[in-house]
Structure 1
Amino acid sequence: MSIDKHINKRVYLYDSVDKALIAILRTDARASISKLAAQLHVSRGTVQNRLDRLISSGAILGFTIRAHDELETDVVKAIMMIEVVGKSTAQVISQLRGIPQLEKLHTTNGAWDLVANIQTSSLLEFDLVLRDVRTIDGVLNSETSILLSSI
């Protein structure tokens, strides 16, 4: 499935300036247009036009912060690998998207069909999420690892 089917926006081809702009914003989403222009060696107008186009095309979905791990003491984070039966992947993905604690869902190759990023506020909630995923029709097997610290 192509990216334009997921975001229902017009397709836009990204060049090296777009990719560099996104890379800078990943580390500093609050950077001013002037700062971005200076780092990219382009005009402020170019940066603003590129930002507008990246947002309207769906390449940039929003701006956020990354909090230090020590601030997230009441959070349980994990990675879950999921094996799907036969051709039921689309149906399984549809049901997984309904679980709010699954922050991201990825297709992958190898032994596992899907990888899910999980974030919950307690071990009890985490346990319930694991049960919910494992009871979805089409989920054959799963393996989950709790993320202890980031290095």
Structure 2
Amino acid sequence: MSELDNIDRQLISILRTDARTSVSDLAKKINVSRATVQNRLTKLEKRNIITGYTILVSTETDDKMSLVRAHMNIEIKGSSTKNVKFALMSEPSVCSIHTTNGRWDMLVELQTSSLEEFDRILCRIRGIPEISTSETSILLSSHQVRS
């Protein structure tokens, strides 16, 4: 992202805080025209610097308290990363997939509504033929660190 200028960085910073910020509000905050903001956003999306917009759900909501969240480290047989990633993307309980270096080839973030569902998901994922081994840690508590 070194090719980004100050306007691009400001846009990304504001959108990281609130992805629903309107183009008009972005223009006012950065002190540029709406057309400039829209053109910049379009270019950032086309260059895959901005790849999507999302929401964050508060950890204080009642629904969140009943969720089971976990990180699953996966070792993949051979060069089957693409196949494993494709299989994982079809699992609704998979929140994100990260390729890594070192002992594990992939880190997968999981979220389910119960331990029973969590067990079923683990069985399905461990049944993917290209996965040689895995290790899963259930997240007990989380603490957000912001700069």
TM range (shorter): 0.7 to 0.9
Quote the Cα distance in structure 1 between the aligned partners of 2:67 and 2:76.
28
Alignment of 1:74-113 (within 5 A): 74-113=66-105
Residues 94 and 34 from structure 1, CA distance in 2 versus in 1: closer, same or farther, beyond 3 angstroms? closer
Query: Any idea what the Cα deviations from partners look like across 1:79-114, whole Å, max 9, x if unmatched?
Result: 111001122222222222221211211111010001
**Mapping of 1:39-50 within 5 angstroms?**
39-50=29-40
TM-score by length of 2: 0.80
Work out the CA distance in 2 between the residues paired with 1:132 and 1:102.
Answer: 12
What is the alpha-carbon distance in structure 2 between the residues aligned to residue 60 and residue 148 of structure 1? 31
Q: Secondary structure at the residue paired with 1:132?
A: helix
2:124 corresponding residue in structure 1: 132
Identity level (%): 48
Give 1:115's aligned amino acid: L
For residue 64 of structure 1, give the secondary structure of its aligned residue in structure 2. coil
Is residue 32 from structure 1 mapped to residue 22 from structure 2 by the alignment?
A: yes
Question: Could you tell me the TM-score, scaled by structure 1's length?
Answer: 0.79
CA distance in 2, matches of 1:80, 1:54: 31
Q: 1:117 aligned to 2:112?
A: no
Unaligned residue ranges in structure 2 (runs of 5+): none
- Amino acid of the residue matched to residue 91 of structure 2? I
Shift of 1:118: 0.6
* Structure 1: runs of 5+ lacking an equivalent: 1-12
Cα deviation, 1:86-145, whole Å, max 9, x if unaligned, reads 222222222222212112111110100011111111111111111111111121111111
> How do 1:39-78 and structure 2 match up within 5 A?
39-55=29-45, 58-71=48-61, 72-78=64-70
